[in-house]
Amino acid sequence: MTTPVCPKCDSKDATKSGVVNERQRFKCRACGYHYTVAKVGREVNPYYVVKALQLYIEGVSYREIERLLGVSHVSVMNWVKKYGVKAPRQPEYHPTYKILNQKELAEFFQKPENLKSAGLVVTELGDKYMMIRWERFRAG
């Protein structure tokens, strides 16, 4: 059995330190951290982490990202903090988005009027596509 890497300092130098809930426990010799082989809890697929961060940078709110991806808005906030992501302030523009399938997206791009006077980003979202548009706030 190979000793797993310490989750705190990435050292491979560890000793066995008992068994907890039928799982081997280790103690890192480098930093003294105790850890088990398998992580308790549910791992989130890195695809969703990347998509959540992309949407955050594009100006989509935490709650909207939660609705779109099905991951907790608190998780999204934690990822933003963990990876040091900062979204630029966009006081004059606001994003609007639509979820489209491939056929709807192709039909959208066939109309030239859809491509004028707004920024546009398309990103994959599972088996569909998310189209994000920025439009200037119009003075009343």
Q: Is 82 found in the same domain as 110? A: no
Give tens-digit pLDDT for 14-26: 898 888 877 888 8
CATH of the domain at 63: 1.10.10
Q: Is 58 found in the same domain as 27? A: no
Give tens-digit pLDDT for 42-76: 667 888 899 999 888 877 889 988 888 888 999 99
Specify which residues 92 forms β-bridges with: none
Cβ atoms 7, 38 nearer than 8 A:
no
pLDDT-derived band at 139, boundaries 50, 70, 90 = very low
Residue 26 burial (CB count, 10 A): 19
Give how many domains the chain has, as a whole number: 3
pLDDT for the residue 132: 81
Cβ atoms 76, 99 nearer than 8 A:
no
State the burial class of residue 56 (Cβ atoms within 10 Å of its Cβ: 0-12, 13-18, 19+).
buried
> Nearest CA to 100 among 135, 128, 77, 75?
128
Sequence letter at residue 15? T
Q: Give mean pLDDT, residues 117-126.
A: 77
Q: Is 47 found in the same domain as 88? A: yes
Q: Is 64 found in the same domain as 25? A: no
What gap in Å lies between CA 103 and CA 114, rounded to an integer? 15
pLDDT for the residue 136: 59
Give tens-digit pLDDT for 77-106: 999 999 998 877 766 666 677 888 899 989
Pair of tokens at residue 14: 């560890």
Q: Is 79 found in the same domain as 105? A: no
Q: Is 134 found in the same domain as 103? A: yes
pLDDT-derived band at 116, boundaries 50, 70, 90 = confident
Q: Is 100 found in the same domain as 71? A: no
Pair of tokens at residue 86: 């900062």
pLDDT-derived band at 39, boundaries 50, 70, 90 = low
Q: Is 46 found in the same domain as 12? A: no
Helix (DSSP H) and strand (DSSP E) numbers for the chain: 4, 6
Pair of tokens at residue 137: 């706030």
Q: What is the CA radius of gyration of the chain?
A: 22
Q: Which range marks the domain in which residue 23 is found?
A: 1-41
pLDDT for the residue 8: 81
Residue 135 burial (CB count, 10 A): 13
